[in-house]
Amino acid sequence: MIKHFTCVICPLGCEIDVEEENGGIIALDGSRCARGKEFVIQELKEPLRVLTTTVRIKGAEFNMLPVRTDKPIPKRLIPKIMEDIAKIEVNAPVKMYDTIIENIVGTGINLIATRSM
């Protein structure tokens, strides 16, 4: 089976084709750097993403605070994490890099503010 990936690790955006058989990689074509191969292996094992979104904030100039996870999280957990994020509201003041949610959905990963408000 051949799977196609667009690598998002660096600005090159390599188009990578991977031939898989019995859970192993037979051929990998299109990666222009070693990080592309690492990206594809991780995508096949467990896709990870840094989640960026917003949460409601009271007492600030704007009513939404930009946030992100401090490490990549398993892509399959994004819907559950977004459910939890939709339920919260923080109070100003908040400083950039403050932890908004610690150990989100038991991952050991934190949701942090990306702006002071």
* pLDDT tens-digit map of 5-49: 999 888 889 999 999 888 788 888 998 888 988 999 899 899 999
Q: Do 69 and 32 share a structural domain?
A: no
Q: Do 65 and 37 share a structural domain?
A: no
Q: Do 94 and 66 share a structural domain?
A: yes
* Percent residues over pLDDT 90 in the chain: 75
Report the CATH number that the domain containing residue 74 is assigned in CATH: 3.10.530.10
- Residue predicted with more confidence, 13 or 93: 93
Q: What pLDDT was estimated at residue 15?
A: 94
Q: Do 101 and 59 share a structural domain?
A: yes
Q: Strand 24-29 relative to strand 48-49: parallel, antiparallel, unpaired?
A: unpaired
Domain holding 15, by residue range, is 2-45
pTM of the model: 0.83
Q: Do 74 and 35 share a structural domain?
A: no
Q: What pLDDT was estimated at residue 23?
A: 76
Element containing residue 76 per DSSP (H, E): none
Rounded mean pLDDT of 43-59?
95
pLDDT at 1 over 90: no
C-beta atoms surrounding 24 within 10 Å? 8
pLDDT at 92 over 90: yes
Domain count across the chain: 2
Q: Do 41 and 24 share a structural domain?
A: yes
Rounded mean pLDDT of 83-89?
96
Q: Do 95 and 66 share a structural domain?
A: yes
Q: Do 96 and 60 share a structural domain?
A: yes
Judging by beta carbons within 10 Å of its beta carbon (0-12, 13-18, 19+), is residue 74 exposed, middle or buried? middle
